[in-house]
Amino acid sequence: MLKAIFTNSFGILFSRILGFVRDLLTASILGANIYSDIFFVAFKLPNLFRRIFAEGAFVQSFLPSFISSKQKSLFSVGVFLRFFIFLLFLSILVTLFSPFFTKLIALGFDENVVKIASFYVALNFYYLDFIFAVTFLAALLQYRNHFATTAFSTALLNISLIISLIISKSKEPKEIVLYMSYAVLIGGFLQLLAHIAAAKKLGVLKILIGGFKYIGKKSSLVKNEIKKFYSLFFPAVLGNSTAQISAFLDTWLASFLTAGNISYLYYANRVFQLPLALFAIATSTAIFPKVARYLKNKDKKMAILILKKSFYFLLFFLTAFVIGGIILSNEVISLLFQRGEFTAKDTQITAFVLSMYLIGLLPYGLSKIFSLWLYSLHKQKKAAKIASYSLIINIVLSLILIYPLKASGLALASSISGFFLLFYTIKEFGFENFRGFLNLKIIILLSLFSTLEIFILIAFKYLIKA
């Protein structure tokens, strides 16, 4: 289990380092203005769907269904074809009605900005077609306990974007956004090639070839299984995507604020996503196949043991990141982004937004662990209901806090809703089961560690300012 977690973590870390290099170049070359806002809006919609598929609803619903299927080849191909055809149709729809979808993402943009952004929105959306195929293969690779390709392959997207920024840095902002948009598609294509190579090596393609061969003649054999999968998938879209939907809502509401606020949210959320991906997503991805198998075999004790170990692993590391990130928020943002067109004022605002996001790191991270229990037991509808409560709270708080705190208020609303998400997820997991997780000695040790970290970081901050 630890090998899988650290493989995911190292892959994600490598990719995120390149991601920060990409963001550093983006901040330096484009800054925080209307053109950076346009690119982030254009990439927001496919990126939202990517996170839902890659880190949420699809994998969480597909894997337990695939494990339970008696006709794995037919089932997997049947699901793939239906999804891919739908997404290709959706991509064409976005192309044909790109101004409408642009307005939908950023309602606060005026007509002139919408006209400029529409082309980029349509172009970037085709990334979703590539990334669904990547996610589908990644789920099958997880079944074979192979995580490295998926963890490291996101680096290909970042490398593509970095090269596009270097090539286009002396060009007009509008052209830079165009180069970056094409780089997104190239990155998606390279990710797909990497997964096809891994699938061939591990024998996953053999599963698919058999399914494609007989899907026309024997599709009726998996009709009920696919129908059951859909009944789990659609509730899971909401149930495991609260953080992504919250970020999407933040962008939508921020479009009503002055230029730059979308970029502040983006840069802060990028930093926030690092520990979330590095630990919470990496851990949940690694343990999910095991938890699903144990619960399928009625071995509740072993499933809970895995969740308990993962809980304390996340509790220690995420707490450390929350404390460190909030205390050193200004220094972190300054180090990463303050150069070129990204000013000291931009750093100050982004750092405060980051602090508000970090308040919610622990609840969002821990809820991913407990949600595995629900998904493994095919309780996607219950997870969707819990997420709905959290999302409603987030929307209400966002509307209240956006006026006094602007972008920071949107980040704070997201964090507060995360605590509600965690509470209701634990409630469904069972307070009796959760009480078995609590260990007084470990909690005291964590408290001492956190106190020591606070003193060390405050002293460090004082020294570097002296």
Q: Residue 265: name the closest of 363, 409, 128 by CA.
A: 409
- In one-letter notation, the amino acid at residue 205 is L
Supply the pTM of this predicted model: 0.73
- The yes-or-no verdict on residue 274 having pLDDT over 60 is yes
- 3-class secondary structure, 7: helix
Asked whether 335 and 347 are in contact (CB, 8 A), the reply is: no
**Measured torsion, CA atoms of residues 369, 370, 373, 378, in degrees rounded to the nearest 10:** -100
Distance CA 353, CA 267 (A): 9
Q: Quote the pLDDT of residue 105.
A: 73
More confident call, 193 vs 9: 193
Mean pLDDT value across residues 31-44: 78
Mean pLDDT value across residues 285-308: 87
Question: DSSP per residue over 426-462, as a string?
Answer: HHHH-HHHHHTT--HHHHHHHHHHHHHHHHHHHHHHH
pLDDT band, residue 173 (cuts 50/70/90): confident
Q: Quote the pLDDT of residue 13.
A: 78
**For residue range 49-68, what is the model confidence (pLDDT) as tens digits?**
766 665 566 777 777 778 77
**For residue range 406-444, what is the model confidence (pLDDT) as tens digits?**
899 999 999 999 999 999 999 999 998 898 888 889 989
Place of tokens 């002293």: 459
pLDDT band, residue 238 (cuts 50/70/90): low
Q: Quote the pLDDT of residue 59.
A: 75
Least confident of 214-218, 290-294, 461-465: 214-218
The 3-state secondary structure of 299-368 reads: CHHHHHHHHHHHHHHHHHHHHHHHHHHHHCHHHHHHHHHCCCCCCHHHHHHHHHHHHHHHCCHHHHHHHH
- CA atoms in the 13 A half-sphere facing the CB of 184: 26
**For residue range 316-348, what is the model confidence (pLDDT) as tens digits?**
999 999 999 999 999 999 988 887 778 889 999
Distance CA 389, CA 115 (A): 36
**For residue range 309-323, what is the model confidence (pLDDT) as tens digits?**
999 999 999 999 999
pLDDT band, residue 445 (cuts 50/70/90): very high
- The yes-or-no verdict on residue 2 having pLDDT over 70 is no
Least confident of 81-85, 136-140, 377-381: 377-381
Mean pLDDT value across residues 282-289: 84
Q: Quote the pLDDT of residue 17.
A: 83
Q: Quote the pLDDT of residue 121.
A: 87
Q: Quote the pLDDT of residue 27.
A: 78
Distance CA 74, CA 212 (A): 7
The number of beta carbons lying within 10 Å of the beta carbon of residue 416 is 18
**For residue range 353-398, what is the model confidence (pLDDT) as tens digits?**
999 999 999 999 999 899 889 888 878 788 888 888 898 999 999 9
Give residues with Cβ within 8 angstroms of 373, minimum separation 6: 291, 295, 303, 307, 428, 429
**What percent of the chain is predicted at pLDDT more than 70?**
93
- The yes-or-no verdict on residue 401 having pLDDT over 90 is yes
The number of beta carbons lying within 10 Å of the beta carbon of residue 306 is 18
Mean pLDDT value across residues 15-22: 82
Q: Quote the pLDDT of residue 222.
A: 74
Query: Mean pLDDT across the chain, nearest whole number?
Result: 85
User: What is the distance in angstroms between the CA of the first residue and the CA of the last residue of the chain?
Assistant: 45
Give residues with Cβ within 8 angstroms of 177, minimum separation 6: 30, 35, 38, 39, 42, 120
- The yes-or-no verdict on residue 161 having pLDDT over 60 is yes
